[in-house]
Chain A
Amino acid sequence: MTDSAIRAVQIGKQYQIGQQRVRYQTLRDALVQPLRQFWRRDRNAQASAERFWALSDVSFEIQPGEVVGLIGRNGAGKSTLLKVLSRITEPTTGYAEIRGRVSSLLEVGTGFHPELTGRENVFLNGSILGMRRREIARKFDEIVAFAEVEKFIDTPVKHYSSGMHMRLAFAVAAHLEPEILLVDEVLAVGDSAFQKKCLNKMEDVGQQGRTIVFVSHSMPAITRLCSRTILLDGGRIVKDGPSHQVISTYLSSGLGTTAAREWPDLAKAPGSDVVRLRAVRVRDEAGGIASAVDIRRPVGIELEYDVLRPGYALWPHFTLHNDEGVFVFASFDLDPEWRRRPRPAGRYVSTGWIPGNFLAEGMMIIGAAMTTEEPQLLHFYERDVVAFQVIDSMDGDSARGDMTADMPGVVRPLLQWSTVYSSNGHHAGEPVPGFSQR
């Protein structure tokens, strides 16, 4: 065998639908079912209908020290793959060989007991994650400092805020020192400052030469931590390669380039009994649906929604992410006509216009959301609901000027530039347009 840290060969994992959907069977079902199947004499037909492959034919190799991202839509098999690699569940077919001590972090704070103090839980959770008691004792102060809960370390964790709870739980996990670390989406915790701290810590871990497999929906986190990414879809590997390539494949294919989405059936439309989203559309200046827009032209994001229960002031808003997953901005509807005003029931269409010469080139992904003002409550937030492509036709009058090479950046505003020339090397003292001097 080679020196790979992880070698997966044609791994398949089959579930019975019932195993995932129904929480548990009763004994009666188990006794009656085979009888029924016997009478029906269609055991095979029924058996195949109730099974599905969560993973099939998954093969890859990961070298020691590699940090690999694992991405894919919900249900693509990412978590199942991590569970198989962490030996929580067995594969149905295929095999994997793992070289070195493995720690898996599918959840932070597994085994935390609310009645125990922070100190006690650090030891308990540490040992559950596979640390030795001596190792925990050695790192204890560091863990507590990382979690920023020094003052409350001897308080039962049931009195902790959820933030403190998560910080402590992550701090324990962050101090694991296995050769191979399998991490599921656990960074979606805590405030953003703490998230950053966790990312830094993971980056440190990566630099120490540890092998990491990292599942995340956060493309910036993947780009930052992983040089290589594997894209799963429907339990199969779709793409395996340099992160930026795989991520852009994922973002463009997974979403399609739907510039409009509608919910004709009110009952299935996202939202609450107060307000429901009926459609989201990307509009160009002419009012047409636009899946691609010129970088110089404005683009409108249109939210169509039904107010079902009158009397609430609403904040329609949308978010915009680029194809690297960077959150570019969010925008709220501030139309004075409806701002702070309780709305009667009925159909509304709110459109926010993004100016031309503002976005960078590439895929832009919209999320549509609605909050009521009083009480401040989020009624829907449809992520990745529509997308559009921003195209620079390179006519020379966009922000890139005459440059034709790849131009990085999240936004690409067209700024007003001025250049002052003086032949003797001194400033001429011309005021910069738009800025007063002192």
Chain B
Amino acid sequence: MSITRKPQPVVSSTALPITRIAPSRGWVALRLHELWDYRELLYFLIWRDIKVRYKQTVLGAAWAVLQPFFTMVVFSLIFGRLARIDSDGVPYPIFSYTALVPWQFFANGMQHATLGMVQHANMLKKIYFPRLALPLAKVLAGVVDSALAFVVLLGLMLYFGIVPTVNIVWLPLLLLLALVTSLGVSLWLSAVNVRFRDVGYTVPFIIQFWMYATPIVYPASLLPEPWRSLSGLNPMAGVVEGFRWALLGTDTAPGPMIFLSALVALALLASGAFYFRRMEKTFADVV
């Protein structure tokens, strides 16, 4: 037997927010205020990523340091010792490691964010939340790894007797530039990856090509003009050279080039965000 109940409204219904659900066409607004409303979810997603990233590994968070460290060792042996690539007058190990810290932040963020959408397909299919939160959380979670890698960088500088310059105050801005670039690329790639898994397979190649296109194993000073100026189109070139300038005092002060980098990065982010939002409505159906 069913018991019929008189409906009683919880609160006066006029005070309640009204959500309108209707088909959208083409480009849609970013709705960043909504992302702000979901900031606690963003916080928990970041927290979860950090928390589980190195679970059930013996070395745990040491991996955050070991990865760039051993890459640096290999680079130092091959490019520093064997190929004797110029390193702007600083020891090659620290020259490459300084570049690897922001680079790994960028590359890992991009990789995790691109694959993250598919990895968390279930969330996309079962829960409503601003989809932008997912790649954003993935990229932001990398900040902790970078901080750990940065501590080692300070240790290396101490070892090589290098005192950071006052320009170190610009580091947060440079890191922000890396973040914006990483997020911008991630938004494009993750939105496409939801439909075409091919993207997931190409990410390692993109990262590899991009790394050699960025002055990490070599100094930008090695590039002849006009390539050197044009390399500013690659925001990561600006970030890496900026890191060396701020920390190691190399003669690579970011000039007008960094503005070009910043413009490119912002364009990537804005276009990525709009493209992502446009594709977003199909995520739950195709993922």
Q: Which residues of A contact B225 (CB under 8 A)?
A: none
The answer to whether the Cβ of B172 comes within 8 Å of any Cβ in the partner chain is no
The answer to whether the Cβ of B5 comes within 8 Å of any Cβ in the partner chain is yes
Chain A residues 209-251 with CB under 8 Å of chain B are 209-210, 223-224, 226-227, 242-244
CB < 8 Å neighbour of A408 from B1, B6, B124: B1
Contact status of A107 and B122, CB under 8 A, knowing A97-B20, A99-B13, A208-B10: yes
* Chain B interface category by residue count: 35 or more
CB < 8 Å neighbour of B22 from A19, A95, A104, A127: A95
Contact status of A26 and B198, CB under 8 A, knowing A110-B122, A206-B5: yes
Q: Which candidate, A39-47, A85-93, A272-280, A352-360, is the interface stretch facing chain B? A: A85-93
The answer to whether the Cβ of A174 comes within 8 Å of any Cβ in the partner chain is no
Q: How far is the CA of A110 from the CA of B44 in the complex (A)?
A: 13
CB-CB nearest in chain A for B124: A88
Q: Which residues of A contact B (CB under 8 A)?
A: 1, 3, 5, 15, 19-20, 24-28, 30, 63-67, 83-102, 104, 106-107, 110-111, 113, 115-116, 120, 123-124, 127-130, 132-133, 179, 206-210, 223-224, 226-227, 242-244, 408
B94-125 to A contact mask, C-beta < 8 Å, 1/0 = 00000000000000000000000000101111
The answer to whether the Cβ of B128 comes within 8 Å of any Cβ in the partner chain is yes
B22 touches A91 (CB 8 A): yes
Q: Which residues of A contact B17 (CB under 8 A)?
A: 99-101
A124 touches B21 (CB 8 A): no
Contact status of A120 and B51, CB under 8 A, knowing A110-B126, A127-B41, A227-B2: yes
Can you list 20 A-B pairs with a CB-CB distance of less than 8 A? A3-B14, A64-B10, A65-B5, A66-B7, A90-B24, A91-B21, A95-B22, A96-B22, A98-B21, A100-B10, A104-B126, A110-B127, A111-B123, A115-B51, A115-B55, A224-B2, A224-B3, A227-B2, A227-B4, A227-B5
Q: Which residues of A contact B126 (CB under 8 A)?
A: 88, 104, 106-107, 110
A27 touches B198 (CB 8 A): yes
Q: How far is the CA of A296 from the CA of B13 in the complex (A)?
A: 55
Q: How far is the CA of A408 from the CA of B128 in the complex (A)?
A: 43
Name the residue among B8, B21, B24 with the largest chain A CB count within 10 angstroms. B21
The answer to whether the Cβ of B23 comes within 8 Å of any Cβ in the partner chain is yes
Q: How far is the CA of A24 from the CA of B52 in the complex (A)?
A: 28
Q: How far is the CA of A409 from the CA of B44 in the complex (A)?
A: 51
CB-CB nearest in chain B for A54: B285
Q: How far is the CA of A285 from the CA of B52 in the complex (A)?
A: 65
B7-31 to A contact mask, C-beta < 8 Å, 1/0 = 1111101101111111110000000
B285 touches A89 (CB 8 A): yes
Q: How many pairs of A and B residues are in contact by the CB < 8 Å rule?
A: 163
Contact status of A128 and B129, CB under 8 A, knowing A90-B281, A99-B13: yes
Q: Which residues of A contact B23 (CB under 8 A)?
A: 90-93, 95
CB < 8 Å neighbour of B284 from A88, A91, A206, A408: A88
Q: Which residues of B contact A1 (CB under 8 A)?
A: 18
Q: How far is the CA of A85 from the CA of B20 in the complex (A)?
A: 10
B128 touches A104 (CB 8 A): yes
Q: Which residues of A contact B199 (CB under 8 A)?
A: 27
Q: Which residues of B contact A87 (CB under 8 A)?
A: 19, 21, 128
B196 touches A226 (CB 8 A): no
CB < 8 Å neighbour of A26 from B52, B129, B197: B197
Q: How far is the CA of A192 from the CA of B124 in the complex (A)?
A: 30
Q: Which residues of A contact B44 (CB under 8 A)?
A: 123-124, 127-128
CB-CB nearest in chain B for A83: B284
CB-CB nearest in chain B for A22: B286
Min CB gap B43→A, angstroms: 8
Q: Which residues of B contact A210 (CB under 8 A)?
A: 10
- 20 extra interchain contacts, Cβ-Cβ under 8 A, other than A107-B122, A227-B3? A15-B285, A30-B195, A86-B128, A87-B19, A88-B125, A90-B22, A97-B18, A104-B128, A106-B127, A110-B123, A115-B51, A115-B55, A116-B52, A124-B47, A127-B44, A209-B9, A209-B10, A210-B10, A227-B4, A242-B2
